[in-house]
Amino acid sequence: MANEFMIQFENVSKQYKNSQNPAVKNLSVGILPGEFITILGGSGSGKTTVLKMINRIIEPSGGTIFFKGQDIMTLEPDKLRREIGYVIQQSGLFPHMTVEDNIALLPDCLKQDRKKTRERVRELLRLVRLEPGQYKDRYPRQLSGGQQQRVSIARALVADPDVMLMDEPFGAIDALIRIELQEELKDIHKQFGKTILFVTHDVHEAMRLGTRVMVMKEGVLQQFDTPANVLLNKENQYVADIVGNRGEIQRLLMLNARDLAKPYAPGDQGPQIEIDAEMEQAFDLFMSDKNVDKIILVENAKPVLTLSRDDILIKR
């Protein structure tokens, strides 16, 4: 059973020495390969602790964490960490190394072929949309905050890990650039099918990025579900609070169109939008033309999902 999960928490707790309450309490969740999990919570919710226990930056005080079916405490920490990319808020770039050396540090330490590594660095820089010729010899202080995080993501990807842990990576980036980085991260996730765990305190970010959202409060998991179900949940008062006391339509607007769509059935007809479109775009279409009952979500020009007017405006 444990083997189908990429990462599994079994009754995991963390009690820090100088604190009364546990930072994480009896957490049991399974994360499937390829999921993009956002961990949402305020400060002191234990969200970062959950993340850092996976690569043993923090050691759990109780319970078991499995990585690909193996108890992580039985694995050698450095070996485990090499299979997990790690991106943190203040980028953690090494200020005394060029962009290229930052990204190449792990393969260089493992004495891998230098030429291949340099080629890999170029490939990764292009992936995070930094022109290698222009950026590889720069030092971190010569980069903007957004560019630093791009390099940090490239560095985390260098060993082609199956899992990426990201601790509020875009927390200190201004709004416009943040949205750009979020979109690119989504693309990277889609392109490579990595399993991503992403800590954030930003509701929009959690909803926009996650395939599932873990909502944490005071070390206890409140809800672990799709963005749609978290947003529309009315039973859990805490979830309602963190999501905000907005009207339902405004909550819906935080979702992507696909979150409430159903599989496309032959015969469905209506205007087409891209599969990644935000809910706002679908709303605009429904609002601007009363005759539109269905919107077709297409991927590579192929219809994949259907979003019905009923799904978002009437049925709840």
Partner 1 sequence: MLEYIGKYYDQIFTMLVDHCKLVFVSILISFVLAFALSIVARRFKAMSGVLLALFIGVYCIPSLALFAFLIPFFGLGQPTAILALVLYNQVLLIRSILAAFKSVPSSVSEAAKGMGIGFLNGLRKVELPLALPAILGGLRVATISTSGIVTVAALINAGGLGVLLFDGIRTNNFDKIWLGVILVCSFTLLLNWGLSVLEKRSLRIARGER
Interface positions with partner 1 (CB under 8 A): 55, 57, 77-82, 84, 86, 88-98, 105-106, 109, 139-142, 152, 155, 165
Measured from the CB atom, the residue of 61 and 90 that comes closer to partner 1 is: 90
In whole angstroms, the minimum distance from the beta carbon of 212 to partner 1 comes to 23
What CA–CA distance (Å, rounded) separates 185 from 21?
34
In whole angstroms, the minimum distance from the beta carbon of 257 to partner 1 comes to 35
Length of the chain: 316
Write the CA distances from 112 to 104, 107, 218, 267, integer angstroms: 10, 5, 43, 54
In whole angstroms, the minimum distance from the beta carbon of 183 to partner 1 comes to 24
Measured from the CB atom, the residue of 143 and 279 that comes closer to partner 1 is: 143
Under 8 Å between Cβ of 147 and 184: no
Measured from the CB atom, the residue of 48 and 256 that comes closer to partner 1 is: 48
Angle between helices 145-157 and 175-192 (to 10 degrees): 20
In whole angstroms, the minimum distance from the beta carbon of 269 to partner 1 comes to 50
In whole angstroms, the minimum distance from the beta carbon of 125 to partner 1 comes to 17
Which of helix, strand or coil describes residue 199?
Answer: strand
In whole angstroms, the minimum distance from the beta carbon of 192 to partner 1 comes to 19
What CA–CA distance (Å, rounded) separates 208 from 220?
23
Measured from the CB atom, the residue of 13 and 55 that comes closer to partner 1 is: 55
Q: Sort 24 into a burial class: Cβ within 10 Å, 0-12 / 13-18 / 19+.
A: buried
> Smallest Cα–Cα separation from 212: which of 68, 19, 30?
30
DSSP sequence for 74-115 = GS-HHHHHHTEEEE-TT----TTS-HHHHHHHHHHHTT--HH
Measured from the CB atom, the residue of 88 and 242 that comes closer to partner 1 is: 88
In whole angstroms, the minimum distance from the beta carbon of 111 to partner 1 comes to 11
Write the CA distances from 186 to 189, 208, 276, 281, integer angstroms: 5, 9, 10, 18
Measured from the CB atom, the residue of 60 and 140 that comes closer to partner 1 is: 140
Which of helix, strand or coil describes residue 166?
Answer: strand
Measured from the CB atom, the residue of 95 and 267 that comes closer to partner 1 is: 95
